[in-house]
Amino acid sequence: MSAIDHLHLRNVKKKLYWRDVQHLTQTFKKMADFHAQIQDFMGKIEAKNSHEPEFLQAVREVAETVIPYTEENPKYKETNILERICEPERTIMFRVPWVNDKGQFIVNRGFRVEMNSAIGPYKGGLRFHPTVNLSVLKFLAFEQVFKNSLTTLPLGGGKGGSDFDPKGKSDHEVMRFCQSFMTELSRHIGGFTDIPAGDIGVGGREIGFLFGQYKKVKNEFAGILTGKGLEYGGSLIRPEATGYGTVYFANEVLEAHGDSLEGKLCAVSGSGNVAQFTIEKLLELGAKPVTVSDSGGFIYDKDGIDKEKLDYIMHLKNVERGRIHEYADKFKGAEFHKGATPWNAKVDLAFPCATQNELPKKDAETLVKNGCKGVFEGANMPTTADGYEVFKNNKTLFAPGKAANAGGVATSGLEMSQNAQRLSWTRDEVDYRLKMIMQSIHKNCEKFGRVDDSYVDYVRGANVAGFVKVADAMMAQGHV
Ligand code: NDP
Ligand code: 2IT
């Protein structure tokens, strides 16, 4: 190389260096600016909702991804859409009086958070669990707005429930509670207003009692709930839909990254509706689920939970209403770990399907250390904020609940369509539509969440994609 070439090369390097420095400085400045704006925004939300930690957690996750987007799309900032989305359109709290089998007078608290109706009537589940409070239901209703927007269907967001604990109650007690709950709720819901469904502690039995009471009080047979029994307007595949949809979504993510579910060891938490049908679909697609849990602890079955064992779990949980430790008595070789969660198991993939904040930072670190390549949230917000940071920093594939578990509410939307048409689609038809919806959610998340050729930030993708549709509808409808 000549002396002139050397000189030229040095100048090019110098220029490149300065360009890099300038670029980095700009990037840091932008990040600091975003950070300041997020802090400022959260300050306002925290001031109004200071006793609602779950709600604030859900809002912060959205703010961290949506605020940078609104900076580049100022129309959303100018119309203050994000702050407007954080304020429920309406929150209803009510007394639920009922009498237990001993003749005692019990009172519980009932709620319905009607969060956002920009793109359709309020839609979202009812949760019956002793931990239910306004913070939990506001976080769930907030998540539901973005999730429902992703489904491609015209569904607004809501959530409700009660601090009633169905565990240990007789069928008659559950029926009397549901009747009292619906006597009040019936004033606030309707096929064009608000259509609740199930969630933790609310399955087919509870939906039946709630539907019966609505019909009695209102004297109308209407599609005001989803998750109904097949005999009275329910849809095939709705019970399966959340778990199936989560696995369809996982399949999309893995395929997009040149991988598949075949032969993968999977940790599943929970043993309720979502966990059961997650396991069923994992088996169908060739994966090997090895854990299942409830609030008493988890089962590790090194031989895998096969179809026969899953049938046992379904009978134990749905019919006998038993506890998961009984699995270890039935199937020798399976271990029960009392009071623990499944995240220490050495697995390829994790499917948290129980409840919020069940996967904290230390467990995320253990999963990563053990070689876990993907986390797919069947539950709502099961991963803590710092747990998610661990996955993000390690480029673990991570599908947030509002995308991965949207198949449940999407199929509720399909149940509403069938009710409106007064007909029932076949199992194959509903399953096909569910699969198509999960594929479309995946594409939409990729569109807004792609970081580089090898990594998609599905959290950013889901939040921004969900936000854009709701925000555009809100802007079109004026400041209402
Ligand atoms: P179920 O009531 O059918 O099952 C809940 C399961 O999670 C049970 O195994 C329960 O154990 C466990 N669980 C609940 N709370 C806790 C807790 N605090 N600590 C440990 N384990 C707990 O509910 P689903 O399966 O319907 O719901 C599970 C998750 O999926 C929830 O986050 C829900 O919001 C979400 N989801 C549900 C949808 C649906 O269509 N049902 C749709 C989308 C999301 P135990 O019996 O001991 O309480
Ligand atoms: O969290 C959820 O998406 C649900 N519990 C299902 C809601 C519904 O309306 O089917």
Residues with a known catalytic role? 159
Shared domain check, 38 and 132: no
pLDDT digits (tens, 9 = 90+) for 14-52: 766 777 887 788 888 888 889 999 999 999 999 999 999
Please say which residue of 191, 225, 259 terminates a domain. Answer: 225
Q: Which pLDDT band, with edges at 50, 70 and 90, does 2 fall under?
A: low
Q: Is 156 in the pocket of ligand 2 (CB under 6 A)?
A: no
Shared domain check, 211 and 256: no
**219 part of a folded domain:** yes
**32 part of a folded domain:** yes
Percent of the chain topping pLDDT 90 = 93
pLDDT digits (tens, 9 = 90+) for 74-107: 999 999 999 999 999 999 999 999 999 999 999 9
Q: What is the 3-state secondary structure (H, E, C) of 134-163?
A: HHHHHHHHHHHHHHHHHCCCCCCEEEEEEC
- Taking residues 235-260, what's their average pLDDT? 98
**465 part of a folded domain:** no
pLDDT > 60? residue 354:
yes
**39 part of a folded domain:** yes
Shared domain check, 375 and 342: yes
Shared domain check, 260 and 196: no
Shared domain check, 212 and 96: yes
Please say which residue of 225, 254, 283 terminates a domain. Answer: 225
- Taking residues 237-251, what's their average pLDDT? 98
Query: Which atom of ligand 1 is nearest to 131's Cα?
Result: 18
CATH number of the domain that residue 352 is part of: 3.40.50.720
pLDDT > 60? residue 174:
yes
CATH number of the domain that residue 122 is part of: 3.40.50.10860
Distance CA 126, CA 248 (A): 24
Q: Which helix (H) or strand (E) holds 19?
A: helix 3-48
pLDDT digits (tens, 9 = 90+) for 356-395: 999 999 999 999 999 999 999 999 999 999 999 999 999 9
* Phi, psi of 409, rounded to the nearest 5 degrees: -70, -30
Domain of 256 in residue numbering reads as 241-408+439-459
Query: Which ligand is located closest to the Cα atom of residue 167?
Result: 1
pLDDT at 17: 76
Shared domain check, 108 and 51: no
Shared domain check, 324 and 217: no
Shared domain check, 163 and 30: no
Shared domain check, 400 and 331: yes
Global pTM reads 0.95
For residue 128, what are the β-bridge partners? 162
Shared domain check, 64 and 176: no
- Taking residues 142-153, what's their average pLDDT? 98
pLDDT at 3: 62
Shared domain check, 125 and 23: no
C-alpha of residue 109 to centroid of ligand 1, in Å: 20
Counting ligand 2 atoms within 8 A of each CB, the residue from 159, 189, 240, 409 with the most, and so the one to mutate, is 409
Query: Which ligand is located closest to the Cα atom of residue 242?
Result: 1
Shared domain check, 349 and 246: yes
Please say which residue of 225, 259, 278 terminates a domain. Answer: 225
**402 part of a folded domain:** yes
pLDDT digits (tens, 9 = 90+) for 420-442: 999 999 999 999 999 999 999 99
Query: Which ligand is located closest to the Cα atom of residue 228?
Result: 2
**202 part of a folded domain:** yes
Instruction: List all residues whose CB is within 6 A of at least one atom of ligand 1.
Output: 198-201, 203, 242, 270-275, 294-296, 353-355, 378-380, 405, 408
Domain count, the chain: 3
Distance CA 454, CA 442 (A): 15
SS3 425: coil
**427 part of a folded domain:** no
pLDDT > 80? residue 11:
no
**417 part of a folded domain:** no
